[in-house]
Amino acid sequence: MSLVSHPVSAVDRALSVLATLAQQGCAMTAVELMAMTALSQSTLYRQLATLKRWGFVLEVEGRYAPGPLSLQLALGFDMSSHLVQLARADMLALAQQSQESVGLVVAVNGQAICVDMVESQQALRCSFEKGRSVPLQPKGASAKCLLAHLPKGVAAAFQSPQQPDVVLLDQAAELAAIRQTGYAVSDSEVDPGVWGVSVPLFGIGKRALGVLTLMAPSVRVRDRQAALIQMTVVTAARISRSLSS
């Protein structure tokens, strides 16, 4: 009997291509995909051919983007996600109360991904688009709050080993402070002029399932930070009670 060391390697490669396209949020050339996935040209084209045949990828003038079947997956997620369904009404209420944008963000495969979004109705507003992702690093309220509530070994994996020990210690202390206070705040750490507060959402067994993030233009929150933090903390607690019941 012959042993196969990694029988799903072809699947892994195809999913790597699809995940890269999803995370970039724009059409990409084959050269860009090769650089991002580290796949050879022949391997990449084989994966793209399969994904195109299934409808997961579209090719237009030599550039590749997620296809219509990817949209069906997103629709299925919206219809079946327990977290999104339970959080939606409270997110709408918080957005109305605060007059600011409210997002639901989860940690997946080293990324902080926005899975739902309620946008502010104000002309000047901040938005972390649904489906957008950023690296899961200690930068920005959402990512820091997610990291703070991951198991220690998992969280440490996303801290760059090239950083000086003093920086790593400072980051560890900041994550510990977030766990202690119950929320994370940032200002212009990811996008200039954007203030945000993130609060963890807990399910059964106090397991963190994601974070609730309220975001607003920095110029509009100078005298409202305490009130906006309190609104978000109260809303997150209400959602967590629903998730735990």
Query: Is the full-model pTM beyond 0.85?
Result: no
The two tokens of residue 53 are 């045949």
- What is the phi/psi pair of residue 130, to 5°? -55, 130
Per-residue model confidence as pLDDT tens digits over 102-112: 999 988 778 88
Angle (nearest 5°) at CA 77 between 71 and 81: 165
Q: In this predicted structure, what is the pLDDT of residue 6?
A: 42
Residue 126 to residue 103: CA distance in whole angstroms: 10
Q: In this predicted structure, what is the pLDDT of residue 8?
A: 42
Contact call for residues 138 and 112 (beta carbons, < 8 A) = no
The two tokens of residue 15 are 């999913």
- Enter the DSSP assignment of 220: G
Domains of the chain listed by start with CATH number: 9-72 (1.10.10.10), 81-244 (3.30.450.40)
Per-residue model confidence as pLDDT tens digits over 93-144: 999 999 999 999 988 778 888 889 999 999 888 877 887 888 888 889 999 9
Burial of residue 137 (CB within 10 Å: 0-12, 13-18, 19+) is middle
For residue 184, the SS3 value is strand
Contact call for residues 90 and 115 (beta carbons, < 8 A) = no
Per-residue model confidence as pLDDT tens digits over 7-36: 447 788 888 888 888 777 778 899 999 998
